[in-house]
Protein backbone atom coordinates (compact mmCIF):
# COMPACT_ATOMS: atom_id res chain seq x y z
CA UNK A 1 0.00 0.00 0.00
CA UNK A 2 3.05 2.31 0.31
CA UNK A 3 3.99 4.47 -2.60
CA UNK A 4 7.71 3.57 -2.78
CA UNK A 5 10.06 4.63 -5.52
CA UNK A 6 8.59 2.17 -8.01
CA UNK A 7 5.23 3.87 -7.65
CA UNK A 8 5.54 7.65 -7.95
CA UNK A 9 2.56 9.85 -7.17
CA UNK A 10 2.12 10.52 -10.86
CA UNK A 11 1.57 6.84 -11.66
CA UNK A 12 -0.69 6.26 -8.67
CA UNK A 13 -3.02 8.99 -9.80
CA UNK A 14 -3.17 7.54 -13.26
CA UNK A 15 -4.65 4.28 -12.04
CA UNK A 16 -7.89 6.19 -12.29
CA UNK A 17 -7.70 8.63 -15.20
CA UNK A 18 -7.91 12.32 -14.43
CA UNK A 19 -10.94 12.83 -16.67
CA UNK A 20 -12.78 10.05 -14.90
CA UNK A 21 -11.99 11.47 -11.46
CA UNK A 22 -13.27 14.87 -12.55
CA UNK A 23 -16.54 13.36 -13.78
CA UNK A 24 -16.92 11.36 -10.60
CA UNK A 25 -16.36 14.39 -8.37
CA UNK A 26 -18.97 16.43 -10.19
CA UNK A 27 -21.40 13.51 -10.17
CA UNK A 28 -20.98 13.26 -6.39
CA UNK A 29 -21.74 16.95 -6.03
CA UNK A 30 -24.89 16.58 -8.07
CA UNK A 31 -26.15 13.53 -6.23
CA UNK A 32 -25.39 15.03 -2.83
CA UNK A 33 -27.39 18.11 -3.73
CA UNK A 34 -24.39 20.45 -3.59
CA UNK A 35 -25.13 21.13 -7.25
CA UNK A 36 -28.80 21.36 -8.16
CA UNK A 37 -30.53 21.16 -11.52
CA UNK A 38 -30.03 24.41 -13.37
CA UNK A 39 -26.82 25.30 -11.54
CA UNK A 40 -23.89 26.26 -13.71
CA UNK A 41 -20.57 24.44 -13.57
CA UNK A 42 -17.27 26.34 -13.48
CA UNK A 43 -15.84 26.99 -16.92
CA UNK A 44 -13.84 24.24 -18.55
CA UNK A 45 -10.69 26.32 -18.22
CA UNK A 46 -11.11 26.95 -14.50
CA UNK A 47 -11.98 23.29 -13.85
CA UNK A 48 -8.70 22.39 -15.52
CA UNK A 49 -6.67 25.02 -13.63
CA UNK A 50 -8.10 23.89 -10.30
CA UNK A 51 -6.86 20.36 -10.93
CA UNK A 52 -3.80 21.05 -13.01
CA UNK A 53 -5.16 19.28 -16.06
CA UNK A 54 -5.61 20.53 -19.59
CA UNK A 55 -8.87 21.68 -21.04
CA UNK A 56 -9.15 18.72 -23.43
CA UNK A 57 -8.96 16.39 -20.47
CA UNK A 58 -11.65 18.36 -18.68
CA UNK A 59 -13.83 18.07 -21.76
CA UNK A 60 -13.31 14.33 -21.84
CA UNK A 61 -14.64 14.17 -18.30
CA UNK A 62 -17.59 16.42 -18.99
CA UNK A 63 -18.49 14.30 -22.01
CA UNK A 64 -19.11 11.39 -19.65
CA UNK A 65 -21.58 13.48 -17.67
CA UNK A 66 -23.16 14.65 -20.90
CA UNK A 67 -23.69 11.08 -22.12
CA UNK A 68 -25.18 10.11 -18.79
CA UNK A 69 -27.59 13.03 -19.03
CA UNK A 70 -26.28 14.62 -15.84
CA UNK A 71 -25.33 17.91 -17.46
CA UNK A 72 -26.14 19.93 -20.54
CA UNK A 73 -23.76 22.28 -22.28
CA UNK A 74 -24.69 25.38 -24.20
CA UNK A 75 -22.19 26.88 -26.57
CA UNK A 76 -21.15 30.35 -25.52
CA UNK A 77 -22.86 30.05 -22.13
CA UNK A 78 -21.56 27.17 -20.10
CA UNK A 79 -22.38 23.76 -18.66
CA UNK A 80 -25.40 23.24 -16.43
CA UNK A 81 -26.74 20.51 -14.22
CA UNK A 82 -29.77 18.99 -15.90
CA UNK A 83 -32.89 17.54 -14.38
CA UNK A 84 -32.78 13.78 -14.81
CA UNK A 85 -35.27 12.54 -17.38
CA UNK A 86 -37.34 9.80 -15.82
CA UNK A 87 -39.65 9.32 -18.77
CA UNK A 88 -37.19 7.37 -20.87
CA UNK A 89 -37.16 3.78 -19.68
CA UNK A 90 -35.05 0.81 -20.63
CA UNK A 91 -36.18 -2.80 -20.78
CA UNK A 92 -33.57 -5.51 -20.80
CA UNK A 93 -35.45 -8.09 -22.75
CA UNK A 94 -34.20 -11.37 -21.49
CA UNK A 95 -37.16 -13.60 -21.26
CA UNK A 96 -35.84 -15.33 -18.15
CA UNK A 97 -35.72 -12.02 -16.32
CA UNK A 98 -39.26 -11.11 -17.24
CA UNK A 99 -40.59 -14.38 -15.88
CA UNK A 100 -40.00 -13.18 -12.32
CA UNK A 101 -36.35 -14.08 -12.62
CA UNK A 102 -37.03 -17.78 -12.16
CA UNK A 103 -35.61 -20.65 -14.15
CA UNK A 104 -37.47 -21.64 -17.25
CA UNK A 105 -37.30 -24.18 -20.07
CA UNK A 106 -38.36 -24.18 -23.69
CA UNK A 107 -40.30 -26.84 -25.50
CA UNK A 108 -40.56 -26.76 -29.26
CA UNK A 109 -44.15 -27.31 -30.32
CA UNK A 110 -44.12 -26.91 -34.05
CA UNK A 111 -42.11 -25.75 -37.06
CA UNK A 112 -43.81 -25.33 -40.39
CA UNK A 113 -43.74 -23.34 -43.59
CA UNK A 114 -46.87 -21.26 -44.16
CA UNK A 115 -48.10 -18.81 -46.73
CA UNK A 116 -47.57 -15.10 -46.26
CA UNK A 117 -50.97 -13.81 -45.23
CA UNK A 118 -52.89 -11.96 -42.57
CA UNK A 119 -51.21 -9.56 -40.13
CA UNK A 120 -47.88 -11.36 -40.26
CA UNK A 121 -47.92 -11.43 -44.05
CA UNK A 122 -48.60 -7.70 -44.12
CA UNK A 123 -45.54 -7.06 -42.03
CA UNK A 124 -43.13 -9.56 -43.52
CA UNK A 125 -43.69 -9.30 -47.20
CA UNK A 126 -45.91 -7.74 -49.78
CA UNK A 127 -45.10 -10.62 -52.15
CA UNK A 128 -47.88 -13.18 -51.68
CA UNK A 129 -45.70 -16.01 -53.02
CA UNK A 130 -43.31 -15.44 -50.12
CA UNK A 131 -43.09 -18.47 -47.86
CA UNK A 132 -42.88 -17.99 -44.13
CA UNK A 133 -41.38 -20.20 -41.46
CA UNK A 134 -43.50 -20.44 -38.36
CA UNK A 135 -41.99 -21.64 -35.11
CA UNK A 136 -44.06 -22.28 -32.03
CA UNK A 137 -42.57 -22.85 -28.62
CA UNK A 138 -43.86 -23.03 -25.12
CA UNK A 139 -42.04 -21.68 -22.09
CA UNK A 140 -42.23 -23.69 -18.90
CA UNK A 141 -41.47 -22.96 -15.30
CA UNK A 142 -41.33 -25.97 -13.01
CA UNK A 143 -43.02 -27.96 -15.77
CA UNK A 144 -45.88 -25.46 -15.85
CA UNK A 145 -46.47 -23.75 -19.19
CA UNK A 146 -46.41 -20.01 -18.66
CA UNK A 147 -46.10 -18.51 -22.12
CA UNK A 148 -46.30 -19.32 -25.81
CA UNK A 149 -43.99 -17.81 -28.36
CA UNK A 150 -44.61 -17.73 -32.08
CA UNK A 151 -41.87 -16.64 -34.43
CA UNK A 152 -42.32 -15.85 -38.09
CA UNK A 153 -39.53 -15.29 -40.56
CA UNK A 154 -39.31 -15.38 -44.33
CA UNK A 155 -38.17 -18.68 -45.77
CA UNK A 156 -34.79 -18.20 -47.44
CA UNK A 157 -33.20 -20.90 -49.57
CA UNK A 158 -29.81 -22.06 -48.47
CA UNK A 159 -30.21 -20.60 -45.00
CA UNK A 160 -31.36 -23.57 -42.96
CA UNK A 161 -32.42 -23.18 -39.37
CA UNK A 162 -30.16 -25.33 -37.27
CA UNK A 163 -31.76 -27.37 -34.59
CA UNK A 164 -29.88 -25.77 -31.72
CA UNK A 165 -30.97 -22.35 -32.94
CA UNK A 166 -34.56 -23.49 -32.86
CA UNK A 167 -34.17 -24.59 -29.29
CA UNK A 168 -32.02 -21.95 -27.72
CA UNK A 169 -31.35 -18.84 -29.80
CA UNK A 170 -33.19 -15.69 -28.87
CA UNK A 171 -35.05 -14.03 -31.67
CA UNK A 172 -32.60 -11.36 -32.84
CA UNK A 173 -29.86 -13.99 -32.77
CA UNK A 174 -31.92 -16.43 -34.79
CA UNK A 175 -32.62 -13.78 -37.40
CA UNK A 176 -28.99 -12.75 -37.60
CA UNK A 177 -28.12 -16.37 -38.39
CA UNK A 178 -30.91 -16.98 -40.86
CA UNK A 179 -31.08 -13.69 -42.75
CA UNK A 180 -28.89 -12.13 -45.35
CA UNK A 181 -29.47 -8.63 -44.01
CA UNK A 182 -28.15 -7.38 -40.71
CA UNK A 183 -30.92 -6.87 -38.14
CA UNK A 184 -30.55 -3.40 -36.65
CA UNK A 185 -33.83 -2.55 -35.00
CA UNK A 186 -36.42 -4.17 -32.79
CA UNK A 187 -39.85 -2.62 -32.31
CA UNK A 188 -42.01 -3.97 -29.55
CA UNK A 189 -45.67 -3.51 -28.83
CA UNK A 190 -46.89 -4.56 -25.39
CA UNK A 191 -50.59 -5.05 -24.87
CA UNK A 192 -53.28 -7.11 -23.21
CA UNK A 193 -54.96 -9.93 -25.10
CA UNK A 194 -57.34 -12.77 -24.47
CA UNK A 195 -56.19 -16.35 -24.98
CA UNK A 196 -57.46 -18.17 -28.04
CA UNK A 197 -58.89 -21.62 -27.51
CA UNK A 198 -55.65 -23.20 -28.74
CA UNK A 199 -53.44 -20.99 -26.58
CA UNK A 200 -55.61 -21.63 -23.56
CA UNK A 201 -55.37 -25.34 -24.04
CA UNK A 202 -51.59 -25.20 -24.38
CA UNK A 203 -51.29 -23.08 -21.28
CA UNK A 204 -53.82 -25.02 -19.26
CA UNK A 205 -56.10 -22.03 -18.92
CA UNK A 206 -59.63 -21.18 -19.89
CA UNK A 207 -60.23 -19.61 -23.29
CA UNK A 208 -60.60 -15.82 -23.11
CA UNK A 209 -58.31 -15.63 -20.09
CA UNK A 210 -56.40 -12.34 -20.00
CA UNK A 211 -52.72 -12.43 -20.95
CA UNK A 212 -49.88 -10.13 -21.83
CA UNK A 213 -48.99 -9.97 -25.50
CA UNK A 214 -45.55 -8.81 -26.58
CA UNK A 215 -45.15 -8.43 -30.30
CA UNK A 216 -41.70 -7.80 -31.64
CA UNK A 217 -40.70 -6.86 -35.19
CA UNK A 218 -37.08 -6.98 -36.32
CA UNK A 219 -35.94 -4.63 -39.10
CA UNK A 220 -32.91 -4.24 -41.33
CA UNK A 221 -31.18 -0.89 -41.81
CA UNK A 222 -33.24 -0.36 -44.97
CA UNK A 223 -36.45 -0.73 -42.97
CA UNK A 224 -37.34 -4.18 -44.25
CA UNK A 225 -39.04 -6.41 -41.68
CA UNK A 226 -36.90 -9.49 -41.11
CA UNK A 227 -39.07 -11.29 -38.58
CA UNK A 228 -42.00 -11.10 -36.21
CA UNK A 229 -42.38 -12.68 -32.82
CA UNK A 230 -45.46 -12.90 -30.62
CA UNK A 231 -45.15 -13.85 -27.00
CA UNK A 232 -48.36 -14.53 -25.12
CA UNK A 233 -47.74 -14.73 -21.40
CA UNK A 234 -49.82 -15.90 -18.51
CA UNK A 235 -50.93 -12.87 -16.55
CA UNK A 236 -49.50 -14.09 -13.28
CA UNK A 237 -46.14 -15.10 -14.66
CA UNK A 238 -45.16 -12.49 -17.20
CA UNK A 239 -44.17 -9.06 -15.95
CA UNK A 240 -42.13 -6.49 -17.76
CA UNK A 241 -39.69 -4.42 -15.80
CA UNK A 242 -38.27 -1.17 -17.08
CA UNK A 243 -36.04 1.38 -15.42
CA UNK A 244 -35.12 4.94 -16.28
CA UNK A 245 -32.11 5.42 -18.48
CA UNK A 246 -28.84 4.89 -16.60
CA UNK A 247 -28.03 8.26 -15.02
CA UNK A 248 -25.05 6.42 -13.58
Partner DNA sequence: TAGTGGTCTAGACCACACT
Partner DNA sequence: GTGTGGTCTAGACCACTAT
Interacting residues toward a second copy by CB under 8 A: 31-33, 36-37, 56, 63, 67, 83-84, 86-94, 170, 172, 176, 181-194, 210-212, 218, 221, 235, 238-245, 247
CB contact at 8 A, 237 and 57 = no
Q: Which is nearer to a second copy, 91 or 200 (CB)?
A: 91
- CA angle (208, 214, 217) in 5-degree steps: 135
Q: Which partner from the list DNA, a second copy, none does 43 bind, CB cut-off 5 to 8 Å by kind?
A: DNA
Q: Which is nearer to a second copy, 14 or 243 (CB)?
A: 243
| Three-class DSSP category at 148 | strand
CB contact at 8 A, 209 and 185 = no
Instruction: Count Cα neighbours of 242 within 13 Å in the Cβ-side half-sphere.
Output: 10
16 DSSP assignment: S
CB contact at 8 A, 67 and 22 = no
Contacts of 234 (CB under 8 A, 6+ apart): 145, 146, 147, 203, 205, 211
Q: Which is nearer to a second copy, 179 or 202 (CB)?
A: 179
**Interface with DNA (CB under 7 A), residue from 59, 131, 165, 224:** 59
Binding of residue 81 to DNA (CB under 7 A): no
C-beta of 82: minimal distance to DNA in Å? Answer: 13
Q: Which stretch in 36-44, 130-138, 161-169, 204-212 sits in contact with DNA by CB under 7 A?
A: 36-44
Binding of residue 158 to DNA (CB under 7 A): no
C-beta of 35: minimal distance to a second copy in Å? Answer: 10
Q: Name the residues that contact DNA, by CB under 7 A.
A: 11, 14, 17-20, 41, 43-46, 48, 52-57, 59-60, 73-79
Amino acid sequence: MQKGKGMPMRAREQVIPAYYRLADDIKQKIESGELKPGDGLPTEESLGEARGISRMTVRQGLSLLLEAGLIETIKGKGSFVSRPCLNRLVIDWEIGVQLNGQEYQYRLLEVKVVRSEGEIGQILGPAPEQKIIQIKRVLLQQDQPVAIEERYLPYIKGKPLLENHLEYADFPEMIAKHQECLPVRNDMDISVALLTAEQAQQLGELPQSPAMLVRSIIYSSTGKALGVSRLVGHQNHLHLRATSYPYR
